Chain A
Amino acid sequence: QKEVEQNSGPLSVPEGAIASLNCTYSDRGSQSFFWYRQYSGKSPELIMSIYSNGDKEDGRFTAQLNKASQYVSLLIRDSQPSDSATYLCAALKENNDMRFGAGTRLTVKP
């Protein structure tokens, strides 16, 4: 079992719709969770970080964390074609050991 699991996609949504990305993790000791966006041929860039249960909103992005269910999600409202990328979920263990999921490829169609 991978430590961080994501649906690989591809996930396709029309422009203006809500994109929902999901992630589960296996290590209950993980305390910090991150969503990174990676465009093709580029490096991962941080979109959201979340550390406590509940929702965290930043512009069009909302991260949700449920530690009891070991579940993290990312909602992208009013999706734009420029949001088309691979989204990586990551869980931070001890010693700053970050474990990434395999990524979900999102396509937003105009």
Chain B
Amino acid sequence: DTAVSQTPKYLVTQMGNDKSIKCEQNLGHDTMYWYKQDSKKFLKIMFSYNNKELIINETVPNRFSPKSPDKAHLNLHINSLELGDSAVYFCASSQRLAGAGDIQYFGAGTRLSVL
């Protein structure tokens, strides 16, 4: 079984559309994350949730809205897609909120292409 699974794997859409990416983890972790990796391969955190509570909210456009219905799921909804949103989006999860040993496990990524 895949520990952190994201859907879809590929997403091609037109500018101005609204799209969602889903993430689920079966590791029993409390914390989940969304990262964006741009064309230069720089991996940057966007959001993190701990037990459905928003913990980290980096400076991203408010067109991006995360939603966590329960601690095993963290979805990302993007409104009014722009060309610059094209990137690979990774979901990740980890066990604890603070302290050493909080290894993050990544999903396979969703490659978003905005045309």
- Name A's B-contacting residues (CB within 8 A): 31-32, 34, 38, 42-46, 49, 51, 86, 88, 92, 94-100, 102-103
Contact = CB atoms under 8 A, between A and B. Distances in A.
A96 B42 contact: no
Contact of A96 (B31, B44, B107, B109): B31
Given A96-B48, A97-B45, A103-B41, A43 B102 contact: no
A104 B66 CA distance: 30
B75 interface: no
B55 interface: yes
B61 interface: no
Contacts of B43: 44, 88, 100, 103
A103 B105 CA distance: 18
Given A49-B101, A96-B98, A43 B45 contact: no
B102 A45 contact: no
B104 interface: yes
Given A43-B90, A95-B97, 12 more contacts: A34-B103, A44-B106, A46-B103, A46-B105, A88-B43, A95-B48, A95-B98, A96-B102, A96-B104, A99-B45, A102-B41, A103-B41
B14 to A, nearest CB: 24
Given A43-B90, A43-B106, A44-B90, A51 B101 contact: yes
Contact of B101 (A32, A45, A86): A32
Contacts of B90: 43-44
B109 A92 contact: no
Contacts of B40: 102
7 contacts: A42-B108, A42-B109, A43-B90, A51-B100, A97-B45, A102-B42, A103-B41
B100 A96 contact: no
